[in-house]
Structure 1
């Protein structure tokens, strides 16, 4: 199983407008990566790719904009680290053990 497969079902609610764009970008970036053996390893992979994609570590608490993630509107491209820490990454890691 590839890590990208756990990104198939998107969350019903997002943090900011850039979050769904980032979600899809991470899915594409992780398309060739095999699912690691443990949920902790999966979390580290996602957090590393998040940092590479956004230029910010997951520990960065304030929302920020990423020009590349802009699609339309004034707040387009804005990323919510709180969404990723509290909902996005936990949701993805919870899918580790599911077939």
Structure 2
């Protein structure tokens, strides 16, 4: 059986703001022992729910571009800032693309 955390390797080459890689790593860690659900829809719900829990906003409905979360602050001007637009446009689609190849394969 495949684990959800496998979707997080390798890390993407670009991030939106400084908090994004910390959210990525926290999601991977939290899902390290979770088996990959059998359907892409279930995987999508799982990933969005975990993001929502960690960041404290509903990614699909939140209208702001970014939020700041102290738990993801590790130095720098935009420390702790999570770029929701990057998660919507790039990072979640990347995870779901990786998931689709795992479910199909």
- Cα pair 1:16 1:80 within 8 Å, conserved: yes
Aligned residues: 99
Gaps of 5+ in 1: none
- Cα pair 1:61 1:82 within 8 Å, conserved: no
Q: State the TM-score, normalizing by the size of structure 1.
A: 0.94
Tell me the equivalent position of 2:42: 41
Root mean square deviation of aligned Cα: 1.0
Tell me the equivalent position of 2:84: 81
- CA–CA separation in structure 2 for the residues paired with 1:18 and 1:61: 18
Runs of 4 or more above 2 Å deviation? none
Gaps of 5+ in 2: none
- CA–CA separation in structure 2 for the residues paired with 1:88 and 1:61: 17
- CA–CA separation in structure 2 for the residues paired with 1:43 and 1:61: 20
